[in-house]
């Protein structure tokens, strides 16, 4: 949901409905341009601004998504904690040192994002041994998610790596630490969840909550441009594909002219003005991903593209966060009732 897709606008709307509203920390130096600062410094000021706006507009829970792969990861984490963000979600790498940034008076909860039971186990072991801290929850992001994926290309369609298989695996690994240290660590499912029935089904596998991104793009409150949202509405299922990102990971995006040009080799490597992602190989990158995503956020789809989950094509209109929450709750209750009848 970055660059700029989920900022304080969408986060506040979700928080006001009782969800956890999440602000993406990616690319905020472009969203909040400041000529007096370099991009990395502007990222910090942009994050501080977004958190303060959100805190002023809601009493609900505000989280920040900060990718481990970002060059200014540590500074962004420190900023989120100092601004008293309620939660930090962190993936795109293992956030093994995340608890070290907490102070004795910190109120921020820490939630790593993983794509396997092994990763969940490693994080729990490292956090406990090094920092005497266990995750406050764990997000398990499956291969149907939008954006960068923590899977190899041959794993994305493999049933062994499906979210339905990953959740029980992570729940089993986490239970050891819950029992040993008497701390509940809710497992949250993410990636490809779109309906209330999807929520019900994945909770039957052991998830205690869910994370949604694509479903909320086509809302009035989403911070993206109308052009970005319209790309979702116009998309068919066949438009959603796996691409190879310059940061060295596969990603799921909506196919468009920009992506086609990259495939044809028409986009040439450029000098990197930002150095925003540690894993981005500037020498071989066909384009600057942060600029491409920023262009898409602004609605310039000829110079960028939209990341999207596997079910993004199901969007048919612009709606509101409140309407989505109502629909999800109704569908979830219907799924419960249907399950009772079968029993």
Residue 226: the pLDDT is: 96
Per residue in 8-48, pLDDT (tens digit) is: 999 999 999 999 999 999 989 889 888 777 778 889 999 99
> Of residues 25 and 2, which shows the higher confidence score?
25
List Cβ neighbours of 315 (8 Å cut-off, separation of 6 or more): 214, 215, 217, 218, 232, 233, 235
> Of residues 34 and 59, which shows the higher confidence score?
59
Residue 277 in this model has a pLDDT that exceeds 80: no
Residue 269 in this model has a pLDDT that exceeds 70: no
For residues 154-176, average pLDDT: 96
For residues 306 and 231, the answer to whether their CB atoms sit within 8 Å is yes
Per residue in 106-138, pLDDT (tens digit) is: 999 999 999 999 999 999 999 999 999 999 999
Torsion angle (degrees, nearest 10) of CA 222, 228, 230, 235: -120
The pTM (predicted TM-score) of the whole model is 0.94
Residue 34: the pLDDT is: 80
| Structural domains of the chain, with CATH | 8-217 (3.20.20.70), 227-312 (no CATH)
Per residue in 296-328, pLDDT (tens digit) is: 999 999 999 999 999 999 999 999 999 999 999
**What phi and psi values does residue 308 have, to the nearest 5 degrees?**
-160, 145
- Of 254, 289, 308, the C-alpha closest to 70 is 289
Residue 79 and residue 38: Cα distance in Å, rounded?
17
Instruction: Indicate the SS3 state at residue 119.
Output: helix
Average pLDDT, whole number, for the chain?
A: 93
């Amino acid at each position: 949901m970055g660059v700029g897709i989920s900022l304080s606008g969408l986060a506040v709307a979700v928080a006001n409905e009782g969800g956890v509203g999440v602000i993406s920390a990616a690319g905020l130096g472009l969203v909040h341009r400041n000529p007096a600062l370099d991009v990395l410094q502007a990222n910090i000021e942009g994050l501080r601004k977004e958190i303060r706006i959100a805190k002023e507009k809601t009493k609900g829970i505000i989280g920040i998504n900060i990718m481990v792969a970002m060059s200014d990861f540590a500074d962004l984490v420190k900023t989120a904690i100092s601004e008293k963000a309620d939660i930090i979600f962190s993936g795109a790498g293992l956030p093994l040192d995340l608890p070290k940034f907490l102070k004795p008076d910190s109120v921020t909860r820490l939630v790593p994002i993983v794509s396997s039971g092994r990763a969940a186990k490693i994080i729990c072991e490292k956090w406990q041994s090094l920092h005497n801290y266990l995750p406050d929850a764990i997000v398990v992001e499956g291969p149907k998610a939008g954006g960068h994926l923590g899977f190899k290309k041959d794993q994305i369609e493999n049933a062994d790596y499906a979210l339905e298989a990953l959740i029980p695996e992570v729940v089993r690994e986490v239970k050891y630490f819950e029992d040993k240290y008497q701390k509940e660590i809710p497992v949250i499912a993410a990636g490809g969840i779109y309906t209330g029935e999807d929520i019900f089904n994945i909770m039957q596998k052991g998830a205690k909550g869910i994370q949604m991104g694509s479903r909320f793009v086509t809302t009035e409150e989403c911070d993206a441009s109308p052009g970005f949202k319209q790309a979702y509405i116009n998309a068919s299922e066949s438009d959603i594909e796996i691409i190879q990102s310059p940061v060295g990971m596969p990603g799921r995006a909506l196919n468009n002219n920009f992506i086609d040009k990259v495939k044809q080799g028409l986009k040439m490597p450029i000098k990197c003005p930002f150095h925003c992602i540690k894993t981005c190989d500037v020498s071989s990158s066909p384009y600057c991903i942060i600029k491409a995503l920023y262009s898409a956020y602004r609605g310039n789809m000829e110079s960028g593209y939209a990341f999207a989950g596997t079910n993004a094509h199901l969007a048919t209109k612009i709606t509101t966060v409140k309407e989505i929450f109502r629909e999800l709750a109704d569908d979830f209750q219907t799924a419960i009732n249907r399950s009772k009848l079968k029993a």
